[in-house]
Amino acid sequence: MRMRKKNNLEQRLAGCGDIVTVADLSDKNMFTAAREKEYLDLDKIFPCANPVRIEIGCGKGKFVCETAAAERGVNFIAVEKISNVIIDACERAKSLDLKNVYFLNCAAEVLPKYIRPRTAEVIYLNFSNPLPKEGYKKQRLTHPRFLEIYRGLLKSGGRIIQKTDDAAFYAFSLESYAAAGFKITEVCEDLAAHPVAGDAETEHESLFKSMGKKIFRIVAEV
């Protein structure tokens, strides 16, 4: 079922225009993105030249806003392809007056069009859609074709930090990281039993924990 478009969405996005870039959402061609660049000018976007982290699939922004508020010495780029959802994240950041968060409304396939190579020290993948049907596996955000995009965006020694509640997706991701040459440095199969200090929860994570579901966590290094 398609999500109903929110009232005044364009006006609300325009009101957040200083903290969000809205891309051509019909463009998911990673080959075009590799050639045509519209790099974000991070020196103008952020007041300080701090280390950069990227969250891909930020949802309504709970994780990135809480993390940015706690870590003011880090700049965050939060990516979400659904306009109906990213507007809530933008408005949340504005209400908190966060100066170290910027939003990018685009598909993960075209991130190299907007973000320069070797920009990020960390990429967060929080509760990405597991897309369990075999025919959709190339669209999973830990498929090797996406891992190659992330490799290009990460600095040397950069990390992907992934959380999921889906055991099959967790297993698929472990295989993908290994096949793509990433070094798996941490794994956790029950995050509630082994919490990580300073690790903010997403909206989905809070819900899944209240349901007693296990949360899996992986850290993979370039």
Q: pLDDT, tens digit, for every residue of 100-143?
A: 999 999 999 999 999 999 999 999 999 999 999 999 999 999 99
Which of 123, 61, 126 is CA-nearest to residue 96? 61
pLDDT at 174 over 50: yes
pLDDT score of 1? 44
14-45 per-position pLDDT tens digit: 999 999 999 987 777 777 777 889 999 999 99
3-state helix, strand, coil in the chain (%, to 5): 35, 20, 40
Pair 13, 103 in one domain: yes
Please tell me the pTM assigned to this model: 0.95
Residue 131, domain member (yes or no): no
206-219 per-position pLDDT tens digit: 899 899 999 999 99
pLDDT score of 5? 76
**Sign (positive/negative) of CA torsion 119, 174, 168, 214?**
negative
Which of 82, 175, 93 is CA-nearest to residue 129? 82
Which CATH number does the domain housing residue 190 bear? 3.40.50.150
Pair 101, 65 in one domain: yes
Domain that holds residue 196: 141-222
pLDDT score of 3? 60
Pair 72, 3 in one domain: yes
pLDDT score of 28? 75
Residue 129, domain member (yes or no): no
Tokens in use for 168? 């099959």
Question: If you average pLDDT over residues 151-172, what whole number do you get?
Answer: 98
Q: Which of 116, 133, 168 is the last residue of a domain?
A: 116
User: CA-CA distances (angstroms) from residue 134 to 70, 108, 176, 180?
Assistant: 39, 20, 15, 19
Neighbours of 3 (CB within 10 A): 9
Pair 10, 94 in one domain: yes
Residue 102, domain member (yes or no): yes
Q: Which of 116, 150, 174 is the last residue of a domain?
A: 116
For residue 113, count CB atoms less than 10 angstroms from its CB and return exposed for 0-12, middle for 13-18, buried for 19 or more.
Answer: buried
Residue 38, domain member (yes or no): yes
Q: How many helices (H) does the chain have, and how many strands (E)?
A: 9, 8
Pair 78, 184 in one domain: no
In percent, the amount of the chain with pLDDT more than 70 equals: 99
pLDDT score of 31? 76
- Neighbouring residues of 137: CB distance < 8 A, sequence distance ≥ 6: 131, 143, 172
Residue 128, domain member (yes or no): no
Pair 47, 98 in one domain: yes
Pair 101, 43 in one domain: yes
pLDDT at 56 over 80: yes
36 dihedral zone (left: phi>0; alpha: psi -120 to 50; beta): beta
Pair 6, 103 in one domain: yes
Question: If you average pLDDT over residues 41-50, what whole number do you get?
Answer: 97
